[in-house]
Amino acid sequence: MECVIKNTFFMFMTVISVLVFVNGGNRVEAQVHHVVGQDPGWEVATNIASWASGRNFFVGDFLWFSYSNSLDKDYVVEVKSKEEFESCDVSNPIKMYTNGLDQISLQEEGIRYFASANPDKCKKGLKLPVQIKSKSTADFQSSSSFDNVLAKEPTSPSSSTKICGSILMIIGAIIIYQMGI
């Protein structure tokens, strides 16, 4: 019975090692649902610029706009240029969102400009530029910032040493399994 437990354990460790080695340690990125303005939502009283600062938007994420779709044009428009966005020229939007709860999928990298359909409210800050980054950009930035932290730490074994260690562990586990230990 003890031999079966050892064999099962070593096979489990071998499979895990192979999966980690083959996958390269990649992680699965989840979609993020950004509720614009959080609890108050899309309102002049909400500091949209403050809400957006420090946030990262990636391809595959979603924006959620929650607002009152009343007569004073609280709804959201998307404008095509930075100039229209900065001047709050909402007269020729790319798209209008008028449901009161709109989900917008961020499908490609680049910048998109959202503003209140009411120019006065837009001028009071009810607007949002969204810089959408690719997932690979996020991985590169996180790995380069991680490398910067590592550079300040004492040196560690090279990645080739780690790969050789992983391979040796796999080979050792297979040998032990085959020997029936």
Contact 95, 78 (CB under 8 A): yes
Over residues 139-144, mean pLDDT:
46
In whole angstroms, give the CA distance from residue 105 to residue 135.
Answer: 15
Beta bridge partners of 146: none
Instruction: Provide the pLDDT for residue 36.
Output: 96
In whole angstroms, give the CA distance from residue 47 to residue 34.
Answer: 15
Instruction: Provide the pLDDT for residue 8.
Output: 45
One-letter amino acid at 170 equals I
Q: How confident is the model at residue 177 (pLDDT cuts 50, 70, 90)?
A: low
Indicate the pTM of the whole model: 0.61
Q: How confident is the model at residue 155 (pLDDT cuts 50, 70, 90)?
A: very low
Instruction: Provide the pLDDT for residue 39.
Output: 86
Instruction: Provide the pLDDT for residue 166.
Output: 57
In whole angstroms, give the CA distance from residue 69 to residue 46.
Answer: 16
Per the prediction, the chain carries an average pLDDT of 74
The 10s digit of each residue's pLDDT in 7-51 is: 444 444 444 443 344 444 444 457 899 999 998 899 998 999 999
Instruction: Provide the pLDDT for residue 167.
Output: 61
- Asked whether residue 137 carries a pLDDT value surpassing 70, the answer given is no
- Asked whether residue 142 carries a pLDDT value surpassing 50, the answer given is no
